[in-house]
Structure 1
Amino acid sequence: MEYGTQMKIKRFLRKPVVTYLFLAIQILAFVLMTLDGGSTNMVTLLKYGAKFNPYIVLGEWWRLITPMFLHIGFIHLLMNSVILYYLGEQLEGMFGHLRFAGIYLLSGIAGNLASFAFSDALSAGASTALFGLFGSTIMLGQTFKHNPAIQQMAKSFGTLIIINIIFGVFSSSIDMAGHLGGLLGGFLIATAISVPNPVKQWRNKRLVYGGLFAVMVVVLAYLGYLNTPISSFRL
C-alpha cells in the first residue's frame, strides 16, 4: 500500500467513524420507515424492530437492540442525531472506536431492558444509548479528577443529565426507565472496559463493575419477563 494511501486511512480513522456509522444506520432506517408506512405508524415501528414487550417475551430479543436505531418522527431523529454527533465527537477519540461502540450498544441494551422491565409502552429511539454515553462521562469525571478539561466536560454533561431527567419527569411521552437504565448501564460498562490504568486495583474495579452490569442485565430481563405474562396479550 502506498504511503499516501496509508496516511489517508490513518487520518480517516482518527475521525469518529463509529459515530458516523451509527448516524448513517438510523438515518437509513428512518428513510426506509418513511417510505414503508411512516415512522410514527405503529405497524411500521413493529415491523422494523421497536421495543414491544410481548414480542420480546415470545423470543424476539433483538428488539432490545434495534430500537436504538429507530425514531418516531423527524424531530425525534433530528434531536438524537445532533446529540449523538456532539457526544461522538467528544468521546469516541477518548475511548477508541471499539470501546465507544461497546459502551453505546451495551448501555442501549441496558436501557431497553429497563424499559422492558418497567414500561409496557411501545418505544424506539437512541436515547437509551445516548444516556449511556452521558453515564460514561460520569466515569471519566471520577477517574480523571486532576484533568481540568475532562472535569469541565463531565460537569457540562452532568448539567445536561439533570435537565433531561427533570424534563422527563414532567413528560409522559418520555421513557424515563429507559433513560435511567441507559445512564446506569453506561456508567457501569464504561468503568468495566474503559479505565486506562493497568494498576491491579483498577483491574479489580473493572471486574466488579462488569459483574454489576451483568447482574443488572439479568435482573431487568427477569423483571421484564415477570411483568409481561403471555396470557395477558393476544397476537
Structure 2
Amino acid sequence: MSRTTRAGPEGQPAGRPKALWRRALLGPMPLSHPLIAACIAYYALGCVLSIAISDGSPQAVLTYLWSPSQFVLIDMGIGGSASFAQGEVWTLVTALFLHANLLHIGVNMLCLYMIMPMVEASFGRLRAFILYILAGMLGAAASVLWGETYSLGASGAIFGLFGGMLAYGALRGDAIGRRIMIDSAKWAALNFAFGLLAPVAVSNAAHFGGFIGGAAVALAMIYPVGILRRLEPRRLGFALASIALVCLAAGSGTAVSSTFQAVFDPAAYFAQRSDELIAHYSAVLAQNPGNGEARAMRGMAFAQKDDDEDAIADFNAAIIAGMDTPGLQNNLAWSLFKVGRNREALGHAESAVKSAPDTAAFLDTRAHIYEALGERAKAVADYEAALRQDPSIQESKDGLARLTGSD
C-alpha cells in the first residue's frame, strides 16, 4: 500500500523529522517567536550566571535579575570596540541576543513582536530572517567603527527591519507601498529621536548602521546583482542560523566555564577578569586614547586589582574626557583615600554626595575619609546616614563601631 507524503512549508515534506531550529526557520510559528525566545533564554542565562557568582543576597539576586553582571555579558559576547579590538569577531552576532536589563529587553522584544509579522508577510520567512540577522550585524559593526566601547541589544536588527520595510514600500509604488513606507519612516524617526534624547546610554551608531544596512539588504534581495543572484535564501538562511547557533553556544560555554571558576576559586577568577578587562580597554585606548568610557572602565579594573595609582590616572583622564559622573567621582575618591591622599579625596567624595546625597556607597566613602582626617563627628554622621539607606553595608557598621564603641 503506497502512501503520499504531504508537502510542508518551503517544500519540506511534512513527514520528515526536523530539528527545532529548522522548524523555527521554516514555520509554522511566527518568526518573531523563536527570535524572542532566543533573546529571553540568553538573557535568563546571563541572570542565572550573574547570581551564581554573587554573594547570593536578596539584593544581589534582584540586582542581577534586573541587569546581568558585566563580567558575564563580556563572556557571553557583548559587542563594541572593546571586544572587536581583541579579535572577537563573533560578538557581531551574539551582541544581537544580549540585553543590558529587563527594560532594554522588554522594549526591544515588544518592537520585534510588532514589526516582524509585517516584514515576514512582505519578504517571506527566510528573507525576513536574513534581513534581521545581516542588518543586526551591520549595526553592530557600525557601533565598532564609531568607537563605542560596548554595545548590545536587538535594536540594531529592529532598525534594520524598519529600513528594509521603508525600501520595500518605496519600491512597491502603490497605495499600500506608500502606507508601508510612511509607517516605517514614522516609527524609525520616533525610535531615532528616543535614542538621541534618552537619558541613558543608547547605541545610536548601531541604530543608524542597522537602519541603513537593513535598507541595503532589502534592496539586494529585491534586485540581486552579480554573485547575489546565486545566493539561495534557503541556504543563506540556514547558514546564518547555524553561525548564530555556534556563536551563542560558544558564548554560553565560555560564560558557564567562567562561572564554575568563580564559584570554586573566586580570588583567581576576579584577578583574571581584571586582567582581561584591562587588556580589553587598553586595546580600545590604543586606537582612541580620548575614549572617556574606556578610561573609566579600565580605571575600575585597576582598582579591582588594588592598582590605585593607575586607577587614579584613568579616573582623572575619564573625567577630563567628559565622563564626570557621581559614581566616577566616588571611585576616584576611594582610590585617593587608599593611597593616603585624603584631602584630595574629600573634594571628590563631597562632589559625589552632593550629586546623589542618598547613595549609601557615596556616604560610606566620605565617612572613611572623614575618619582618616580625624573629623569624628562628620564620619559618624555619614556612617549612620549610609546605614539608614542600606543597613547591610558592613564597612559602615565596622566604621561606626570603631568610632562609637557600639555594635
Query: Structure 1 length normalisation: TM-score?
Result: 0.77
Q: Provide the residue aligned with 1:155 in structure 2.
A: 182
SS at 1:163's partner residue?
A: helix
SS at 1:173's partner residue?
A: coil
Compared with structure 1, are the counterparts of its residues 77 and 56 closer, same or farther at alpha carbon in structure 2 (3 Å cutoff)?
same
SS at 1:82's partner residue?
A: helix
CA contact (8 A) 1:57 1:228 kept: no
Compared with structure 1, are the counterparts of its residues 68 and 105 closer, same or farther at alpha carbon in structure 2 (3 Å cutoff)?
same
Q: Provide the residue aligned with 1:49 in structure 2.
A: 77
Q: Provide the residue aligned with 2:231 in structure 1.
A: none
Q: Percent identity?
A: 26
Q: Provide the residue aligned with 1:211 in structure 2.
A: none
Q: Provide the residue aligned with 2:99 in structure 1.
A: 71
SS at 2:31's partner residue?
A: helix
Residue of structure 1 aligned with 2:286, choices 215, 229, 232: 229
| CA deviation vs aligned residue, 1:135-162 (integer Å, no higher than 9, x gap) | 001111111011x223212211211111
- State how 1:6-85 maps to structure 2 within 5 Å: 6=8, 13=26, 15=28, 17-37=30-50, 38=64, 39-85=67-113
| CA deviation vs aligned residue, 1:40-92 (integer Å, no higher than 9, x gap) | 42111111111142331221101111010011111111111111111111111
In 2, distance between residues paired with 1:72 and 1:140?
A: 31
Shift of 1:5: 8.8
In 2, distance between residues paired with 1:18 and 1:185?
A: 20
In 2, distance between residues paired with 1:162 and 1:192?
A: 23
Compared with structure 1, are the counterparts of its residues 205 and 187 closer, same or farther at alpha carbon in structure 2 (3 Å cutoff)?
farther
In 2, distance between residues paired with 1:71 and 1:46?
A: 12
SS at 2:156's partner residue?
A: helix
Shift of 1:229: 3.0
**Which one has the largest radius of gyration?**
2
Aligned-residue Cα RMSD (Å) equals 3.0
Compared with structure 1, are the counterparts of its residues 30 and 140 closer, same or farther at alpha carbon in structure 2 (3 Å cutoff)?
same
| Pairing 1:125–2:153 present | yes
Query: Structure 2 length normalisation: TM-score?
Result: 0.46
Letter in 2 for 1:63: T
- Consecutive unaligned residues of structure 2, counting only runs of 5 or more, are 16-23, 51-63, 229-282, 302-407
| CA deviation vs aligned residue, 1:79-115 (integer Å, no higher than 9, x gap) | 1111111111111122122211111111111101111
Residue of structure 2 aligned with 1:99, choices 114, 124, 127: 127
Aligned residues: 208
CA contact (8 A) 1:53 1:228 kept: no
Q: Which has the higher contact order (CA 8 A, sep 6+)?
A: 1
Compared with structure 1, are the counterparts of its residues 160 and 205 closer, same or farther at alpha carbon in structure 2 (3 Å cutoff)?
farther
In 2, distance between residues paired with 1:137 and 1:106?
A: 15
CA contact (8 A) 1:107 1:132 kept: yes
Compared with structure 1, are the counterparts of its residues 185 and 122 closer, same or farther at alpha carbon in structure 2 (3 Å cutoff)?
same
In 2, distance between residues paired with 1:82 and 1:114?
A: 24
Q: Provide the residue aligned with 2:201 in structure 1.
A: 173
Letter in 2 for 1:167: F
